[in-house]
Structure 1
Amino acid sequence: MERTVRIELHPTREQASALQETLVQFTLAYNHVCAYGWHQGEKNGVRLHHVTYYQTKALCPGLVSDLLIQARVKATETLRSAFTWKAKKEAAYPKKVARVQQQGKPVPVFKPVRCPRSQHCAVRYNVHTYTLDWQTQTVRLSTTQGKMSLAFTVPHFSERYRGCRITTADLLCCNGRWWLHVVVDVPEPVVQPHPEVIGVDLGLNRPAVTSTRHFLGTRRWKEIDRRTFRLKRKLQSNGSKSAKRHLKRLARKQMRFHRDCDHVLSKRLVQQAPPGSTIVLENLTNLREGVRHRKGEGQRRLHTWSFAQLYGFIAYKAQERGIVVERVDPRHTSQTCSHCGYQARNNRRSQSVFHCRSCGYQLNADLNAAINIRDKYCLAQNGTPVLSGPLSDGLSSQASA
């Protein structure tokens, strides 16, 4: 399995100037390939290489051939993603127009997907263009001024990856500090399979509830997020110089706070599961398009919910303990009684109370949904029909289809 180690470089003034020039030329090559591929409708890497290689070589004479190829590879990946997003957006616009016309609202303006362009594209290195020595804590990088050796430091939380085999790396500059994101290859853990399956219900009010009756997350997270949002809104309405200086200090604070919360939540969730067990999550796709909130706090919290980032954190933390992470279709898991299986929309009396209309069973609504998620996966594994819905096995691959 692969992990990314974020190490800080300590270049001299001359080395920093060479790194900056390398970053500028790599970005120029990347933008040139993106512009050609976008206007020509081309996303095939081989054809893009044959057409753009000598042009980018003339534009960026300081880059070695391997860095030019890596710029083209990154541009190809971006173009494929952009063309996919463009087709998806164009297909969804007529449906969106029909929906708003049915509601009697004005037709929204279509915002086309533009050509991808980067101001600071991270330089991608491979085993041919950089060498890293864990013992001396030095790295040798290809730059526009030739190869240079730079000192680096490893953060304390990444010390366990020291000495692992390196693969690729990305060089980037953030607020005047140079960082190298090194991808290392870590051996897979050898863990005996465990029969336990834990269902997890994710939400905005309670961040995570497991089928083993663990309510994870802290209520104060919500208030901290509200306080930061109110402060930023007040400073933006003020508009003074001191308010702008304060806003600059608050830049990316909410994003860092959400990231920290997701790290804490994923770590606690993985710790609840024994090694070799299975964690089952909801396959939350197209959530913001399918759920409608009135303008206000509910809509803001929905659009700032980083559930995809949380999925990624849970997946890589679980992999280190040999835990399998699966996803199931979330439909009707909140409306079905985990005791008798009766499904009705009015089973859920409020946000936190589930009261079955058929058998009278009462339980916390999020805990009931977590149990249903676990049972849905277990039934799918046994070949038994799952909770109501068109899916046959309840797995994420079928849900996305």
Structure 2
Amino acid sequence: MQRTIRIQLKPDIETDSVLSQTIEQYTWSFNAVCKHGWKNDLANGVELHKATYYDHRAITGLPSQLVCAARVKATEALKSAKSLKKKGKTVSCPISKRCPIRYDARSYTAWFDRSELSILSINGRVKLSFEIAEYYRQYLAWKNTSADLLQDRKGCWWLHVVMEIETPQASVTDEVVGVDLGIASPAVDSRGSKYGSGHWKKIEDKTFELHRRLQSKGTKSAKGHLKKLSGRQRRFRKDCDHVLSKRLARSVESGATLVFEDLTNIRGRAKMRKAQRRRLHGWSFAQFQAFVTYKAEARGVNVGFVDPRYTSQKCSQCGHIERGNRPSQAEFRCKKCGYERHADYNAAINIRAEGIRMLKAEGSAVSAVGGEIRPKLGRKSKLRHSPVSTEADTVLGTPSQCG
């Protein structure tokens, strides 16, 4: 289990200059390795090392550890681009304007007890003092592994230190909770709980209107305001996802399983009206699921993913599947048995049932606490849509507001 501590560094003028030179040469080395690998269709780390190491040592003046780190990072970027290209995506040669420097145990040392650190630079080791936020002190007993040095747009220096500890183990329970994510309602689970706030949606709409007005204005000050607005909107969404994911992860006991739809490539598959596309493309479902996964891991809770097909069209009472079962965004009314329920709640029950079916098909309840469980079936595989148990209906009422 890993967490990242963000430490702001405040170097003096001389050290700032050294760090700037180091990151500039590191970025050059990264881009040069990427260019060589892209030109020669090469993504093997050993071959790239042989082709670039000695030249880059002589040209950049970087220590050998940082030259190797830049090559490793470039190799990862090339492999990622190659993988995307195989999937039919349009890709180009990886390039970075200011590549963060990756340090390992041999190139940096942090002493949290006296708030000092030593990092490798173009002029050898430099020592810096730092202050750590009170929230991060809970992780100081963990083992520190790698770290990334970066400089933000304002010129501030940050060191992101990765802390590691053994994943907590817990006895597995039979509790399985399905979670339906949506654009109108951020999350609804199979117990009937609704996560989100209408106030957040109003803020998003207000921000969008301001963004549109500033774009149409087109002045220099408007463009500067747009840049600030973009960062503010990103931070607001991130905070909302943190709040909701924390509530959801804490809503189940240790050993339980949270089941989501696997929404990979949903933006390319979904067909929506023009008015709804803005919300679809601004929907941060992947970030939310990632936050839930790591927060659940800390509590010994599993996270599973199931095939999303027909979860919104299927009746959780009789199993009938029909597009007309959902006459509106919030309403579900089965054409066959007349069953009525909030559409997101009905979908969450279906997700839970599919999650239980998938777990049973794998032969055990859960393989490892704190991990991810994804369906083995491919996108083109045909799923069996059997009637779903209505056990939840006898216990739960209508969706309640939890936020």
Alignment partner, residue 103 of structure 1: none
Q: Distance in 2 between matches of 1:7 and 1:223?
A: 34
Q: Aligned AA for 1:45?
A: G
Give the aligned partner of residue 81 of structure 2.
82
Paired position in structure 2 for 1:11: 11
What CA deviation, in whole Å up to 9, does each residue of 1:255-302 have, x standing for no partner? 111111111111111111111110001001111111123434x11111
Aligned equivalents of 1:399, 1:278: Cα separation in 2: 22
Q: What does residue range 99-248 of structure 1 map to in structure 2 within 5 Å?
A: 112-174=90-152, 175-248=154-227
The answer to whether the aligner puts 1:59 opposite 2:37 as a matched pair is: no
1:126/1:383 Cα in 2 relative to 1: closer, same or farther (>3 Å)?
Answer: closer
Post-superposition offset of 1:400: 5.5
Q: Which residue of 2 aligns with 1:390?
A: none
Contact kept in structure 1, 2:256 and 2:301, CA below 8 Å:
yes
Structure 1 residue 162, shift from structure 2 partner = 1.3
Contact 2:306–2:354 (8 Å) recurs in 1? yes
Partner Cα distance (2:108, 2:186) in 1: 41
Return the alpha-carbon distance in structure 2 between the equivalents of residues 332 and 309 of structure 1: 23
The equivalences for 1:340-359 within 5 A come to: 340-359=318-337
Q: 2:313 aligns with which of 332, 335, 340?
A: 335
Q: Secondary structure at the match of 2:130?
A: strand
Runs (5+) with no aligned partner, structure 1: 91-111, 385-393
The total of aligned residue pairs comes to 369
Give, in angstroms, the shift of residue 141 of structure 1. 0.3
Q: Is the 8 A contact 1:328 1:399 kept in 2?
A: no
Moved more, 36-45 or 354-363: 354-363
Give the 3-state SS of the residue equivalent to 2:309 in structure 1.
coil
Q: Deviations over 1:143-182 (max 9, x none)?
A: 1121111112222222210132111000001111111111
TM-score normalized with structure 1 length: 0.88
Report SS of the residue matched to 2:162.
Answer: strand
Aligned-residue offset at 1:184: 0.9
- Look up the match of 2:229: 250
Alpha-carbon separation, structure 1, partners of 2:252 and 2:59: 54
2:259 is the alignment partner of 1:260 = no
1:127 deviation in Å? 0.3
CA contact (8 A) 1:283 1:399 kept: no
Partners of 2:130 and 2:283 in 1: how far apart? Answer: 35
Contact between 2:358 and 2:375, CA under 8 Å: does it hold in 1? Answer: no
Structure 1 position 200, deviation (Å):
0.2
CA RMSD of aligned residues (A): 1.6
Q: Give the TM-score normalised by the residue count of structure 2.
A: 0.88
Kindly indicate whether residue 269 of structure 2 is the aligned counterpart of residue 290 of structure 1. Answer: yes
Deviation of residue 247 (structure 1)? 2.6
Q: Cα offset for 1:240?
A: 2.9
Residue 400 to residue 78, structure 1, CA distance change in 2 (3 Å): farther
**Structure 2 runs not aligned, ≥5 long:** 363-372, 381-403
Q: Please give the alpha-carbon distance, in whole angstroms, between the structure 2 residues aligned to 1:207 and 1:48.
A: 45
1:23-63 per-residue CA deviation (whole Å, 9 max, x = no partner) reads 101101100000000010001111111111112112211x1
- SS of 2:174's equivalent in the other structure is coil
Return closer, same or farther for 1:246/1:45 CA change in 2, 3 Å cut-off: same
Could you say which residue in structure 2 is the equivalent of 1:27? 27
Task: Tell me: higher relative CO, structure 1 or 2? Use CA pairs within 8 A at least 6 residues apart.
Answer: 2
The answer as to whether partners of 1:134 and 1:163 remain within 8 angstroms in 2 is: no
AA matched with 2:349: I
Partner of 2:70: 71
1:150 and 1:327, CA in 2 relative to 1: closer, same or farther beyond 3 A? same
Paired letter, 1:332: Y
